[in-house]
Every structure is written in structure tokens, then in C-alpha cells.
Chain A
Amino acid sequence: QSALSQPRSVSGSPGQAVTITCTGTSSDVGGYNYVSWYQQHPGKVPKVIIYDVTKRPSGVPDRLSGSKSGNTASLTISGLQAEDEADYYCCSYAGRHILIFGGGTKLTVL
């Protein structure tokens, strides 16, 4: 399996909204409602911020949201804050007990 496709970088100003896309195939993103998103600050451990396409773990602000249409999942961050500057990775179930990550997107808050 190939990695899911994410833009290498996105940027936005404080207060704005940005969307990060994650494109796969009907064998992974499109075939299952098990897309999760992970936030990783430099030098830190990844942290789950969205799971099962739209669900937020306890403690994750509701200005982070997930969605999916066809073979593409999206992470939207509204009301951008400086602390949102990080790398973001999508991950999808791909059948046969296998998960697959996206290549990662660097979010810059201008």
C-alpha cells in the first residue's frame, strides 16, 4: 500500500480556518470509517486529535473537526492559534489488520 496523500504544507493567520486533506483509495479511506488524525509538535510524541473520521478525544477543542467524502478525509482547524503550528498526519484502516499513514502536513501559523 502507498501512503495516503496529504499536502506537504498549509498555512493560515491566527483566527482563520485551514483544512488539511487526506486522499486515499476505496481500499482504505473510502472503504472504512476509521480515519484518525494525529498532531505532532517538533520533538514531541504524536497525539490523536480525531478518530473514527469525526470523533474528538476528551480534551481536544471543538474547533478541530474531521470529515470524509469518498476517498478523501479532511481535518479542519478553525480559529487558528499559534499552538496549532505542528505536523498533522492522517491514518486509515486499510483492511487485513493494517493501518496506513499519510505523508504528513506541516501547518504554519503566520
Chain B
Amino acid sequence: EVRLVQSGAEVRKPGESLKISCQGSGHSLTNYWIAWVRQMPGKGLEWMGIIYLGDSETRYSPSFQGQVTISADKSLTTAYLRWSSLKTSDTAIYYCAKLPYCSSNSWGFCYMDVWGNGTTVTVSS
């Protein structure tokens, strides 16, 4: 069974950089897409972007393009989410989620089946 284990809670000041991680275990993940999802305090889920662990092909939601960087290390079956300059509005829980292979379309994914435990990021001066 695949599990996604995320890095621990972080507290940073505005303007600082940060990189959080999502490591897969229990099965080879190199042929899967991993998504990042934001949930601001008391708010809904927002899809940020996606990365294919096999070749690090990455796509971003227009809302998050240029705001964060998604990367991966295939050898570690780990995906990352990075900020170069945090804002207080980045305070949120960030989830990673695996997308199983979907053979019925050309892009290869349909939904998110396994979710990480979430990483709480607090940005405050």
C-alpha cells in the first residue's frame, strides 16, 4: 500500500524561503503524478500543481504559477514544494496527493487517491 509522508510543520517569517517534502513509500511511485493542494485556515481545497515523478514534468494552476516551485527527486520518490519569498498569505496546510494511472485518457491521471498527512506552514512576523 502506498503511503505519502510529508515533512513537519514549519514557522517562517515573511520574505524567507521554504521547501517542504512529500515522500512516497510502499510501492514504486516513479510512474505516478503527485499533486500539491493548499488549504488556507477555514477555507477550501485549492489545486496548486502536479509533477510526474518519472521525468519531473510539471504543470501549475494559473493561480500558483510563479508563486511556488514544484520539483521532485525520482531516486528518493519525493516531491517538493518550494517558496523563494514567503508571504503571510501562504499560511496554510499543504497536502500532497498521488494520482493513480488512468488509462482512459492521454494525460494519464484522473483523480487523487492517496493523500499525505499535510504540512502546516505558518508565516508570521
Chain B, residues 101-120, CB within 8 Å of chain A (1/0): the string is 01011010011110111100
Given A45-B118, A48-B111 in contact, is the A91-B44 Cβ separation under 8 Å?
no
Cα A96 to Cα B65 in complex, Å, equals: 14
Complex contacts, A36 vs chain B, CB 8 Å: 110-112
Q: Closest A residue to B113 by CB, please name it.
A: A48
Number of B residues near A (Cβ < 8 Å) is: 24
Given A45-B115, A96-B59, A99-B35 in contact, is the A52-B44 Cβ separation under 8 Å?
no
Where chain B touches its partner, the secondary structure class is: loop
- B95 close to A45 (CB less than 8 A): yes
Given A34-B105, A103-B44, A104-B44 in contact, is the A45-B117 Cβ separation under 8 Å?
yes
Interface-located stretch among B12-20, B21-29, B45-53:
B45-53
- B110 close to A57 (CB less than 8 A): no
- B59 close to A98 (CB less than 8 A): yes
- B47 close to A101 (CB less than 8 A): yes
B62 within 8 A of A: yes
- A34 close to B111 (CB less than 8 A): yes
- B44 close to A101 (CB less than 8 A): yes
Complex contacts, A91 vs chain B, CB 8 Å: 45, 47, 111-112
> Which of A91, A96, A102 gathers most chain B CB within 10 Å?
A91
Cα A38 to Cα B35 in complex, Å, equals: 15
Chain A, residues 11-46, CB within 8 Å of chain B (1/0): the string is 000000000000000000000101010101000011
Tell me the A residues contacting B by CB distance below 8 Å.
Answer: 1, 3, 32, 34, 36, 38, 40, 45-48, 51-52, 57, 87, 89, 91, 93, 96-104
